Amino acid sequence: MDTGVPMFGFEPLHEAPDRARGEHRVVLVHDGRILLDPNAGDRLPLLAEVEHRVAPSHPLTPIGRIGDRHWWTAVHAPDTDLDDGEFADLRSLHARVDATEWNAAGRGTQLLDWLRDHAFCGRCGTPTELTPGERALRCPVDGHTAYPRLSPAVIVLVEREDGRALLARSGRWNVPMFSTLAGFVEPGESLEDTVHREIREEVGVEVSDIRYVSSQPWPFPNSLMLGFTASWAGGDIVVDGDEIAEADWYTPDELPMLPPPMSIARRLIDGWLARQG
């Protein structure tokens, strides 16, 4: 299941669609976990079957549609029986539902976070209002407008001319997993600038021949991962000791524990393995 594949044909909806047309499912969230369809645990529930469980204090918000399939998002009412149905966090949900449903779930959780974090104007504290026709919250007093936050980040597989790939382990992980290098884009940086800076900061090497591969929305909580490959241009590995605990050059037959298939990091690694035959 490759959730990195773009959802071609997905149409974001900023206003409520006609409930009488098509299929309508909901990302119903309680304490960071998402309710699964009580009748079929491999998809999101039908809105009509669980609408009584939506918290009245939070708006039922449309996410978007593909054809006549619609998705909404909402907060689960705290006083409703939580034992009625199964809840799953977003990571484990990936193994339970198809790519389209998982993407909708990621969009839904991000929208709920945005609605919560921008319920009041950041300038004057006035309650904000949804702006018709666009995904925006606007202050009725000073006009300040807040859009959903999106944090661009680069993720890079560095290859050496002898066929080895640079993989690293974060000191923040509680498992001995090694992955590609990644970091957020700073204000004023190009993506290429970020690639050079992050790799230099984290492992002390220089790269060249930076090539874009693909992207993946990563809703943990609001990143857009932009995947690249690059060639080693010089320098010995010197880990920063902060974000990176250890790093090394690996051949295809001596790989450590790798990221799960759901991640663009794994797709970059699998692409390198394919190039090595």
Q: Is the pLDDT of residue 200 over 50?
A: yes
Q: Is the pLDDT of residue 3 over 80?
A: no
Query: 198, 162, 193, 163: which is closest to 180 by C-alpha?
Result: 198
How are beta strands 69-75 and 33-35 bridged, if at all?
A: unpaired
Q: pLDDT tens digits, residue range 174-188?
A: 889 999 999 999 999
pLDDT tops 60 at residue 121: yes
Question: What tens digit of pLDDT does each residue of 52-103 get?
Answer: 999 998 889 999 999 999 999 999 998 777 777 899 999 889 888 888 999 9
Q: How confident is the model at residue 210 (pLDDT cuts 50, 70, 90)?
A: very high
Residue with tokens 């206003």: 15
Q: Mean pLDDT over residues 148-153, rounded? A: 96
At residue 2 the predicted structure's pLDDT band, cuts being 50, 70 and 90, is very low
Give residue 49's pLDDT band: very low, low, confident or very high (50, 70, 90): very high
pTM: 0.87
DSSP 94: T
pLDDT at 273 over 60: yes
Q: Burial, 205: exposed, middle or buried (Cβ in 10 Å; 0-12, 13-18, 19+)?
A: buried
Q: Is the pLDDT of residue 261 over 90?
A: no
State the number of CA atoms in the 13 A half-sphere of 229 facing the CB. 17
Angstrom CA distances, 78 to 30, 35, 59, 81, 110, stand at 8, 13, 15, 8, 20
Distance of CA 132 to the CA centre of its chain: 26
What domains can be seen in the chain, in order of their start residue? Answer: 11-117 (3.90.79.20), 123-148 (no CATH), 151-275 (3.90.79.10)
Q: How confident is the model at residue 8 (pLDDT cuts 50, 70, 90)?
A: low
Residue 97's Cβ-count burial label (10 Å; 0-12, 13-18, 19+) is buried
Counted residue by residue, the chain has a size of 277
pLDDT value at 4 more than 50: no
Task: Evaluate if residue 240 carries a pLDDT over 80.
Answer: yes
Q: What is the pLDDT of residue 59?
A: 83
Position 154 pLDDT exceeds 90: yes
The predicted model gives 154-170 an average pLDDT of: 97
Which of these ranges, 31-35, 75-79, 114-118, 207-211, has the smallest mean pLDDT?
75-79
The reported pLDDT for the residue numbered 5 is 42
Residue 40: predicted pLDDT? 80
